Amino acid sequence: MVETSVNPVKKLLEATEVDTRILGMVAVLGLLWLGFGIATDGAFLTPRNLWNLSVQTSSIAVMATGMVLVIVTRNIDLSVGSLLGFTGMIIAVTQAEWLPALWGYDHSMTWVTALLVGMVAGALAGALQGFVIAYMGVPAFIVTLGGLLAWRGAAWWVTSGRTVAPMDSTFQIMGGGPSGSVGELATWLISGAICLMIVAAFLRGRHLRRLHQFPLRPVWAEFVLAGFYCAGVMGAAAVANAYPWPSRIAERYAQAEGIPIPEGGLVIAHGFAVPVLIAVFVAVVMSFIATRTRFGRYVFAIGGNPEAAELAGVNTRKVILLVFTIMGILAAIGAAISTARLNAATNAQGTLDELYVIAAAVIGGTSLAGGVGKVAGAVLGALVMQSLQSGMVLVGIDTPLQNMIVGVVLVIAVWVDTLYRKRSSL
Amino acid sequence: MTDNQQPLVEMRNISISFGGIRAVDDVSIDLYPGEVVGLLGHNGAGKSTLIKILSGAYPMDAGDIFVDGQPVTIHNPRDAKNLGIETIYQTLALADNVDAAANLFLGRELQSRWGTLDDAAMESACRQVMGRLNPNFQRFKDPVKSLSGGQRQSVAIARALYFNARILIMDEPTAALGPQETAQVAELIKHLKSEGIGIFLISHDIHDVFDLSDRVSVMKNGKLVGTASVDVVTKDEVLGMIILGKCPPQVEPGPGAVATDMSIEEVC
């Protein structure tokens, strides 16, 4: 029998089997938001700012989910920022120069073709780095440091340094903004669907535990946990729907569509931004890959003991190659989001992103020693980093101070994590 | 007796070098079904290296391996496992950060019909096999890092047994164990032997393996000193083989044996 504690908080944690590290991060995020909310007289906690925060986090969050796998296998990828620049440039040139020459402007297939070309380029670039690391035995730090320079140069080289703009109008949806949001009704529908999936996942988990006669969570704990998740999803939907389009844009839209403008102005809610939905989708897929597939199991086994994984018959080189290939694809998705958002591709795009991505993964509990990490943690880490930056801008802290604070916070976060690990392993 | 049977495994004239050092030099050993062969020698004699060739961890430079009389090629651990060769390494070779079930099935995970990991089925199977090996074991959810030496050992043993090994290699299986657990491993070896599994038992300590083995093969400096049935040699004679490379007269000397008429200079 598992001994049950008298302390109600401990009892709650034990019964819900919740990951205390993730819970701690949610608490830190909550405190951060509360602190900035107070410091900015509520400006930080307006739907508008939170909505923008979510859009700004998307690109880094997408890449951070892949960085978790890279770091878990005891590797590092310093090239993701440059890779974002390179693939972003390829995506931009494909849709702004190559495809229009073939199909004319605003062809319905342009956006998806450009995205796929970018993802293939990212996959090839990532696979090339992965091949050198896994099969030629060059340390990942060196290979991706070379990549940091090489891909940035390649981004420059594609257009001889020219900025490419504008993007295809359909493609721009991936960047957010009024037209890149799904609107009020779709937001509620999506949230409702996610909540149903959460409930289904809980029921299935319970069913599986019963099937194999494993101990079940108490029913109240299931309700608390599922309720907590669903409330989070619905809360996010409510916030996204509380941020209306700017009145000018709404008026123009109404005129174009022939909708009469009611008294007091037309209110059209943004709803979830498309880049945020992309990031959530990527995070779910990556989480699935990490925890539910053989490949994911091998990634973690290699991180725990590379020799053991090899002796157990795991093709460790192939796994490493694939991890870097996935990282390349995710950099291209990040690039699509950021080029769509900027409505342009520049050759400086994604500069220093590698550091934010690594920081997000590490703050999210990924251990640089390998073998430990969570995709959800990395997404939360990206949100913490972005909240910190966005909050400091709103509070009016000078840019040099902002960087200093972010640096210090990163070190403190890892230190606290080290303390946590030491205590929990005792 | 084993004489008229076909050997389960035969390794012939195996050699491997690392950077000019011949770690294993022209060694031939064999193993019959239901037999325990103790592979003895000092640290650095080449025992573990020889056995890692059989388990697929190292590619050999020269030699032949036969399983059931058929020549086989073993390029990697997967090939060895497909031939029914399972290994319990001295280091245990466990991924410390994942739980017992994940280690048990590492490289051979059970999958649901959707191609996803079937963790529940794996944990269930793990509970069954661990229940036989180590009935007190309850920590199925914890990473193996947090387990005791004996518990980790039982996870490593469970991994070798679960997949119906025909040939079991145990490299210093009792090195991390207390007396009680060592006795358990001895019982287990006797049980497996009775099921017709062939076992290579590797140790640098003759006391660990002499009573459990049917035959002993002794290596010194990468070469085979000789192979003898435990019925015809004493512990002291085997000790002489290990330390001096001196083959007793009733044992056929291998390439690594020191001829009795050799001078002291040549021995050293």
Neighbours of B176 (CB within 10 A): 17
* Residue B267: pLDDT band with limits 50, 70, 90: very low
The reply to whether B94 falls in a domain is no
In this structure, the answer to whether residues A127 and A52 fall within a common structural domain is: yes
CATH of the domain at B204: 3.40.50.300
Domain that holds residue A262: 182-271
Structural tokens at position A389: 């930056």
The reply to whether A4 falls in a domain is no
In this structure, the answer to whether residues A236 and A383 fall within a common structural domain is: no
pLDDT digits (tens, 9 = 90+) for A362-421: 999 898 888 999 999 999 999 999 999 999 999 999 989 988 998 898 898 888 878 877
Maximum separation of any 2 CA atoms in chain B, in Å: 70
Q: Select from A18, A34, A63, A121 the least CA-distant residue to A356.
A: A63
In this structure, the answer to whether residues A267 and A278 fall within a common structural domain is: no
Q: Which one of B48, B85, B97 would you mutate to disrupt binding with A, by most A Cβ within 10 Å of its Cβ?
A: B97
Residue B174, pLDDT > 90, answer no
In this structure, the answer to whether residues A91 and A195 fall within a common structural domain is: no
In this structure, the answer to whether residues B171 and B56 fall within a common structural domain is: yes
Does the CB of B123 have a partner CB in chain A at under 8 Å? yes
CATH of the domain at A296: 1.10.3470
Which amino acid belongs to residue A57?
T
Pairing of the two strands B9-18 and B21-31: antiparallel
CA distance, residue A223 to nearest chain B CA (Å): 22
Please indicate whether, in this complex, the C-beta atoms of A310 and B78 are within 8 angstroms of each other.
Answer: no
Sign of the C-alpha dihedral computed for residues A284, A289, A292 and A296 taken in this order: negative
* Residue B265: pLDDT band with limits 50, 70, 90: very low
* Option in A208, A214, A294 nearest B109 (CB): A294
CA distance, residue B200 to nearest chain A CA (Å): 18
Helix axes A353-363, A399-425, angle to 10 degrees: 30
In this structure, the answer to whether residues B237 and B108 fall within a common structural domain is: no
CA distance, residue A150 to nearest chain B CA (Å): 35
In this structure, the answer to whether residues A123 and A201 fall within a common structural domain is: no
Residue B260, pLDDT > 60, answer no
Q: What is the pLDDT of residue A419?
A: 84
In this structure, the answer to whether residues A282 and A257 fall within a common structural domain is: no
In this structure, the answer to whether residues A53 and A149 fall within a common structural domain is: yes
The reply to whether B4 falls in a domain is no
Tell me the chain A residues in contact with residue B146 when contact means C-beta distances shorter than 8 Å.
425
The reply to whether A389 falls in a domain is yes
The reply to whether B54 falls in a domain is yes
Structural tokens at position A185: 């009704």
CA distance, residue A291 to nearest chain B CA (Å): 8
Tell me the chain A residues in contact with residue B143 when contact means C-beta distances shorter than 8 Å.
304
In chain A, residues 198-237 whose CB comes closer than 8 Å to chain B: 208-209, 211-212, 214
pLDDT digits (tens, 9 = 90+) for A82-94: 999 999 999 999 9
Mean pLDDT of B204-227: 88
User: Quick one: closest CA in A to B80, which residue?
Assistant: A313
Please indicate whether, in this complex, the C-beta atoms of A294 and B111 are within 8 angstroms of each other.
Answer: yes
In this structure, the answer to whether residues A173 and A301 fall within a common structural domain is: yes
In this structure, the answer to whether residues B203 and B258 fall within a common structural domain is: yes
Does the CB of B87 have a partner CB in chain A at under 8 Å? yes
Residue A122 vs residues A63, A87, B89: alpha-carbon distances, Å: 12, 6, 40
In this structure, the answer to whether residues A173 and A288 fall within a common structural domain is: yes
Neighbours of A297 (CB within 10 A): 25
The reply to whether A25 falls in a domain is yes
The reply to whether A350 falls in a domain is yes
User: Quick one: closest CA in A to B116, which residue?
Assistant: A293
The reply to whether A192 falls in a domain is yes
The reply to whether A9 falls in a domain is no
Tell me the chain B residues in contact with residue A425 when contact means C-beta distances shorter than 8 Å.
145-146
> Would you call A95 helix, strand, or coil by DSSP?
helix
Q: Which of B143, B164, B185 is the last residue of a domain?
A: B164
The reply to whether B2 falls in a domain is no
The reply to whether A147 falls in a domain is yes
Q: Which of A220, A244, A271 is the last residue of a domain?
A: A271
In this structure, the answer to whether residues B143 and B70 fall within a common structural domain is: no
Neighbours of A335 (CB within 10 A): 34
Q: Select from A128, A127, A102 the least CA-distant residue to A113.
A: A102
Q: What is the pLDDT of residue B185?
A: 83
Tell me the chain B residues in contact with residue A208 when contact means C-beta distances shorter than 8 Å.
120
In chain B, residues 165-184 whose CB comes closer than 8 Å to chain A: none
Which amino acid belongs to residue A327?
M
Q: Which of A251, A271, A291 is the last residue of a domain?
A: A271
The reply to whether B1 falls in a domain is no
In this structure, the answer to whether residues B185 and B257 fall within a common structural domain is: yes
pLDDT digits (tens, 9 = 90+) for B119-154: 888 988 999 888 888 788 888 888 998 888 888 888
The fraction of chain A above a pLDDT of 70, given in percent, is 98
The reply to whether B103 falls in a domain is yes
Q: What is the pLDDT of residue B268?
A: 45
Tell me the chain B residues in contact with residue A288 when contact means C-beta distances shorter than 8 Å.
116
Q: What is the pLDDT of residue A250?
A: 85
The reply to whether B90 falls in a domain is no
Residue B178, pLDDT > 70, answer yes
User: Quick one: closest CA in B to A209, which residue?
Assistant: B120
Q: What is the pLDDT of residue B248?
A: 85
Domain that holds residue B106: 99-164
Q: Which of B117, B147, B164 is the last residue of a domain?
A: B164
Q: Which of A271, A290, A312 is the last residue of a domain?
A: A271
The reply to whether A1 falls in a domain is no
In this structure, the answer to whether residues B105 and B196 fall within a common structural domain is: no
* Residue B1: pLDDT band with limits 50, 70, 90: very low
Q: Select from A87, A325, B213, B104 the least CA-distant residue to A95.
A: A87
pTM as predicted:
0.90
Q: What is the pLDDT of residue A18?
A: 76
Q: Select from A98, A154, A84, A148 the least CA-distant residue to A345.
A: A84
The reply to whether B40 falls in a domain is yes
In this structure, the answer to whether residues A253 and A164 fall within a common structural domain is: no
In this structure, the answer to whether residues B195 and B70 fall within a common structural domain is: yes
In this structure, the answer to whether residues B108 and B80 fall within a common structural domain is: no
Q: Select from B162, B167, B164, B140 the least CA-distant residue to B151.
A: B140
* Residue B20: pLDDT band with limits 50, 70, 90: confident
B236-244 own/partner pairs: CB under 8 Å, 24+ apart: B238/B40, B238/B206, B238/B210, B239/B206, B241/B40, B242/B40, B242/B41, B242/B42, B242/B45, B242/B206, B242/B218, B243/B42
Alpha-carbon distance A319 to B97, whole Å? 17
Please indicate whether, in this complex, the C-beta atoms of B120 and A303 are within 8 angstroms of each other.
Answer: no
In this structure, the answer to whether residues A165 and A224 fall within a common structural domain is: no
Q: What is the pLDDT of residue B44?
A: 84
Please indicate whether, in this complex, the C-beta atoms of B107 and A305 are within 8 angstroms of each other.
Answer: no
In this structure, the answer to whether residues B159 and B174 fall within a common structural domain is: no
Q: What is the pLDDT of residue B126?
A: 92
Q: Which of B164, B192, B207 is the last residue of a domain?
A: B164
In this structure, the answer to whether residues A29 and A111 fall within a common structural domain is: yes
CA distance, residue A292 to nearest chain B CA (Å): 5
CA distance, residue A379 to nearest chain B CA (Å): 22
* Option in B57, B96, B115 nearest A305 (CB): B96
In this structure, the answer to whether residues B155 and B171 fall within a common structural domain is: no
Please tell me the total count of domains within chain A: 2
Q: What is the pLDDT along chain A (426 residues), one digit of tens a residue?
A: 444 456 777 777 777 777 778 888 899 899 999 999 999 999 999 999 999 999 999 999 999 999 999 999 999 999 999 999 999 999 999 999 999 888 888 888 899 999 999 999 999 999 999 999 999 999 999 999 999 999 999 999 998 889 998 999 899 999 988 888 999 999 999 999 999 999 999 998 888 888 877 778 888 888 888 999 999 999 999 999 999 988 888 888 888 888 887 777 788 899 999 999 999 999 999 999 999 999 999 999 999 999 999 999 899 999 999 999 999 999 999 999 999 999 999 989 999 999 999 999 999 989 888 899 999 999 999 999 999 999 999 999 998 998 899 889 889 888 887 887 777 654
- Interface contacts A/B by beta carbons within 8 Å: 87
Does the CB of B125 have a partner CB in chain A at under 8 Å? no
In this structure, the answer to whether residues B258 and B173 fall within a common structural domain is: yes
Contact A369, A74 (CB under 8 A): yes
Tell me the chain B residues in contact with residue A307 when contact means C-beta distances shorter than 8 Å.
91, 93
Please tell me the total count of domains within chain B: 2
In this structure, the answer to whether residues B236 and B155 fall within a common structural domain is: no
